[in-house]
Chain A
Amino acid sequence: MIKIDHLTKRYGDTLALDDLDFEVKPGVVTGFLGPNGSGKSTTMRIILGLDHPTGGRAIVNGHRYAELKDPVREVGALLDAKAVHPGRTARNHLRALAASNQIRRSRVDEVLDFVGIAAVANKKVGTYSLGMSQRLGIAGALLGDPGVLLFDEPVNGLDPEGIKWIREFFRALANEGRTVFVSSHLMSEMAVSVDEIIVIGRGRFITSGSVNDLTKNVGGTVLARASDLDKLSALVTSHHGVVHDANDEGITISGLTSDEVGRLAFDAGIAIFELTPQRASLEEVFMDLTADAVEYGSKKTDPARGQ
C-alpha cells in the first residue's frame, strides 16, 4: 500500500510535482503512466526517501520510508538498473545489500538464481548488458521478499523473452497480494501488463482507473450511418454529444455511447444503417489525456479515484 498525499516538489523555478495525490492498492499491478518529464521518477524517488518533497508526503505501509526499520524487507525498488558500482560483482553487490537489512546470505543466491544471472554472479557489474543489469536490479528488489514493489521503466533493455517473463512475474507478485507499482512511458506495454493505471502529466494527477475504464470512457467514439444524418447530428449535439468528420458516408460521434445514439435515432424515427463503437487504444487515450495536462489536471472529479 502506497499513499501519495498532496505531494509537491519544486526544483528552483520548476514545479516537478504539483499537489499529486493518489493511492496504489495491493493485489493488483498498477501502472504509472506519463510522458517523459512528467514526474514519474521524481515521485518514485520521494516514495523511497531519496528526494525530499517540498510539500506533502509519501506513505508506505503506514510510514514514511525513512521510518522503516529494514526497508528492503518491506519495499523492493528498481529505479535505475545501472545504479550499481561497476567494479563490484553482482554477488558482492547483493551481499552488501542483504547485510544492511539483516537478510540471510543464502537469499542472495536464491534471487540470483531466480532472475537467471547466477552463472555470471561473480563477474563485475560493469561488464553487464542493460538486460542483465535490469535482472540484477530486479534481484535486488526481491532480496527482502517485500510486500511493496516499485519498478521504474523495468522493460527497458529486456529482450522479448525477458519482457514476457517480467509481465508474468508482475502478475504473480500481485496475485500473492503484493503492491506492484510500475512506471512506463510505453503505453502499449501498459495495456497488456497492468490492471490499474495512474496517469500524470506535468507533475499533476490526470486520471486513474482500470485499463478498460480508461479506454471506454475517455477516447471512445461511435461511427454512425443513418437515413437522415443531418437530423441525427442535430440530435446528438442537443444531447451534449460532439459530431466529428461528418460526410456523406457517416458521422463520428463522441461523448455518447452507441446505446444512447441508437435510442435517440429510434425515438426520432431515423433508420440506422450502421452503429459501430470505436474503442480508443490506450495510446490514443494517453495522447488525448496528456495533450493538455493542465486542463485535465484541474478536473479532479474522476469517479475512478474513489473520491
Chain B
Amino acid sequence: MATTKSEWIKFRTVRSSIMGVAVTVLLTIGLGVLITTLIRTHWSQLSAIRVATFDPVSSSLRGSLFAQFAVGVIGTLFITNEYTSGSIRTTLTAVPNRFRLIAAKCIVLLITTLILGEFVCFAAFLIGQRIYLGVVPTASIDSGTVLRSVILAGLYLALLAIFAFALGLILRQSAAAISVFVSLLLIVPIIGLFFPQSWQNDFTRFEPSTLGVSMQSPFAPSNSFGAWSATFILLAYVVATLMIAMALFQRRDAGPNQ
C-alpha cells in the first residue's frame, strides 16, 4: 500500500504522464468527433453494403485505436524513465522487494489508464451517437452488447498500457521499447500481408489491434474472435510479457546505466 502510494506520487508528478493523458483524451474524443462527423456528412453517398454492415458503436470508438499509442507511451515511460534518469536505483533502495515494486507500478498504471480509457471511450461513444442522431442509425448504451463494447474498448487501452510497461521493463530504454510497441501494433500486421491468404486470416485475428477491434464491436467482425475471446487472448499476451519482464527484472542488476 505504501509502495502504491509512492508510485502514485511519482506517476502524477512528471509531465510525460500528464501529456500522455491529454493526448489520449484528444485522440479518442477528437478523432471520434472527426470520424463520426465525416460519416454523418457522407452517409447518403455510402454504398448499400457499407450501410448494411455499419456499426455505430465501433465507428464512434475508432479514435481509441490511435490513442493506444499514447497509453503505450504512458506505460513505457513509467518504467523506462527510471532507467534513463538512473532513479531506478533510488527506487529500489527504498523498495528492495522487486515484485512488490512492479505490482505497485502495475496497480497505479492499471487503475489510472482504466479510468482514463473508460472515460474517453464513454465520452467518444456518447458524443458520436449525438453526432449521428437524425441521419445515421445510432446505438443505445442500454443494450448489453453495446455497453460491453464501450467498456472493453476502455479496458483495451488499459491492457495495452500494461503491455507497453512490460516491454519497457524488458528493454529498459524508452526509444527501444516504444519502437517495439509500435512495431507490434503497426508493422507486424503488414508482415501478415505477405503470407498466403489461408494463413493471413489466422495470423491477422491474433494481432493486438485486431483483438482491439473485436473487443469494441457489438458483433464479431468476420474472421475475428468474439469480444470475450479477444479480451482473454490479449490478457494472455499481457500476462505472459509481464511474467518474462518480471523474471528478467528479478535477475538483473540495477547497476550503472546500460
Contact = CB atoms under 8 A, between A and B. Distances in A.
A in complex with B: yes
Contacts of B90: 83-84, 97, 140
A197 to B, nearest CB: 25
Contacts of A101: 2, 94
Contacts of A269: none
Interface in A38-64: 41-42, 45, 48-52
B253 A50 contact: yes
Looking at B16, B82, B90, B255, which has the most chain A CB atoms within 10 Å of its CB? B90
A53 to B, nearest CB: 10
A86 B254 contact: no
Contacts of B255: 42, 45, 50-51
Interface stretch (A22-30, A66-74, A160-168): A66-74
Contacts of B10: 85, 88, 92, 96
A95 B9 contact: yes
B86 A72 contact: no
Given A99-B9, A101-B2, A87 B15 contact: yes
B3 A85 contact: no
A255 B56 CA distance: 94
B6 A99 contact: yes
Interface in B49-103: 81-82, 85-90, 92-97
B140 to A, nearest CB: 44
Contacts, number: 91
Interface residues of B, number: 30
Nearest to A143: B94
A65 B94 CA distance: 10
Contacts of B82: 85
A67 to B, nearest CB: 8
Contact of A99 (B2, B14, B88, B92): B2
A97 B85 contact: no
A230 interface: no
B75 to A, nearest CB: 16
Given A84-B87, A85-B14, A87-B14, A100 B95 contact: yes
Given A80-B89, A86-B85, A87-B14, A51 B5 contact: no
Interface string B1-27: 011011101100111100000000000
Nearest to B2: A102
Contacts of A42: 255
Interface of A: 41-42, 45, 48-52, 65-66, 68, 71-72, 75, 77, 79-80, 82-89, 92, 95-97, 99-102, 140
Given A45-B253, A50-B255, 18 more contacts: A45-B255, A49-B92, A71-B93, A75-B93, A80-B86, A83-B85, A83-B86, A83-B89, A83-B90, A84-B87, A85-B10, A85-B87, A88-B13, A88-B14, A99-B9, A100-B3, A100-B95, A101-B94
6 contacts: A52-B253, A85-B14, A88-B14, A92-B9, A96-B7, A100-B6
